Structure 1
Amino acid sequence: MSKIKFLSLLAMALLVFACGKDDDDNGLDVAELSNLQYTGSSAMLTVSWDAFEGAMMYVVYVDDLYATDGMETSVMLGDLEDGAVITIEAYADFDEEILIAKGEITFDASNAGGSGEGSGEVGEVSNLSLSENHGMVTLLWDAYTGAKSYMVFVGDEAVSTIPISGNSHVFNDLEDGAELTVKAYSDPEITDLIAEGTITYSAE
């Protein structure tokens, strides 16, 4: 094989390799998302990051499993295990083909803001009551002074990933004997627990 032919084949091989590499990462360097942080507890965590120029959508993964996506620069995640790895990917398109930035943070339950326990003495949410109508159960409680948001739990499981601003919640399906807990927080990010109350549901 002549030297010229060998060099030609080598050049073609390098070109094919380069093209294949560009196809994998869209020919763009993947930057790093900045100011990636979280507040809250394992039951309800708010993850936020700085907006990345050119990003049209963000995709969130927890331990490599898809969690959610959207155009906002913050998400709320629930029921996280200690050590869970949260990954944020920023795309320049809505088809998740042009990855332009990425960030990763590990959840440390012992270091979570407020750890879901609040910063002071925990008071009591009072006058919890239940009423049932056509199979729907309404839970009511007195507004707690200083509370900006509430979370409702059935056992240890939150009924929603979004905090409640009012003082009621409607259940479509409850098991007899279910223990319902209302937790009041002094902040919308639900990092400072200031009161809680519990009631048990008895089917009529």
Structure 2
Amino acid sequence: VTRAYLAEHARRPYREFRSDPDAVFAETLEIDVSEIEPQVAFPHLPSNTRPISQVGNIPIDQVVIGSCTNGRIGDMRLAAEILRGRSVHPNVRCIVIPGSQEVMRQMIREGLAEVFLDAGAAISTPTCGPCLGGHMGILAAGERCVSTTNRNFIGRMGHRTSEVYLAGPAVAAASAVLGRIAGPDELPAPWA
């Protein structure tokens, strides 16, 4: 995956480093991640995580998909697939922020921007925006947001009584549709 990305995006030659063929490691860990369900980081620490099945019914006011974290084209494709043919819940603001100008252009070329707009989301230019409480999508007192950004400290995205729940693009998109923190498996096919 990394080599393929660098082959397409590297601006200068790079050196590849590998372990010696006869290298001995202190420990090798193998983890089957196929059984791990989506996780949600509760306020006010990224490490305060729970599996989606233990979240409960938490209504939300806003969803942020993208920014520097989870703003890659693959993240946008995943979120768009979930939002395709659906609408953002009437009580939710959904903001999509591509991670770079290149991702923004690719979203447009692939028709993803149209999917987001048709669903009722707003699309920003690449920016930090609401992630650091700078602009656009600043949370008011008591508001809740599901965000694919990387921090959820007190007051990070707005008022100090607001709550930010961190999740991946699939959970964020499903939450935007259902108006509460939700996993993508709660939506009917074709996604589920």
- Larger RCO: Structure 1 or Structure 2 (Cα < 8 Å, ≥ 6 residues apart)? 2
Greater C-alpha Rg: 1
The TM-score bracket by the shorter chain reads under 0.3
Instruction: Say which structure is richer in helix.
Output: 2
**TM-score, structure 2 normalization:** 0.20
Instruction: Say which structure is richer in strand.
Output: 1
